[in-house]
Amino acid sequence: YLRLAPLAVIFFFAVIFAVKKTEGGDPFKCGESCFAGKCYTPGCTCSRPICKKNHIVAAEAKTVDDHHLLCKSHEDCFRKGTGNYCAFFPNTNIHYGWCFYAESEGYM
């Protein structure tokens, strides 16, 4: 077992550094706790009990023109030609939605 110890150490550090750069980023980067379900640092959202850094394009956008898929209404999606439906994020701190094509069929 002693011959495998260095391999185990290398594997351990490889996993630690790989996990650190995944989707949510460093959870303590915002440096605050959620207060009444809100984060007051720009670019952070509440994931109880701490605030996490956003990785959503819509959270950092200033206007709908910052990204071709951002929208405030279905008309924005039609105007840009990027879809026919504007879906908003469940987080109320994000004021823009995301355009996509939605198809529906009604049966009577």
Per-residue pLDDT, 55: 65
What would you report as the CA-atom Rg of the chain, rounded to the nearest whole angstrom?
Answer: 20
Per-residue pLDDT, 74: 93
Per-residue pLDDT, 85: 92
Per-residue pLDDT, 41: 76
Instruction: Please identify every stretch of the chain with a pLDDT value under 70, giving residue numbers as ranges.
Output: 1-2, 15-29, 47, 54-55, 104-108
Nearest residue to 101 via CA among 85, 87, 88 = 85
> Rounded distance, CA 25 to CA 9, Å?
23
Per-residue pLDDT, 105: 64
How many residues appear in the chain? Answer: 108
Per-residue pLDDT, 58: 76
* 27 contacts 55 by C-beta, under 8 angstroms: no
> Rounded distance, CA 81 to CA 100, Å?
10
- Statement: the pTM of the whole predicted model exceeds 0.75: no
Per-residue pLDDT, 29: 66
H or E stretch covering 87: strand 85-88
H or E stretch covering 100: strand 97-100
CA–centroid distance for 91 within its chain: 10
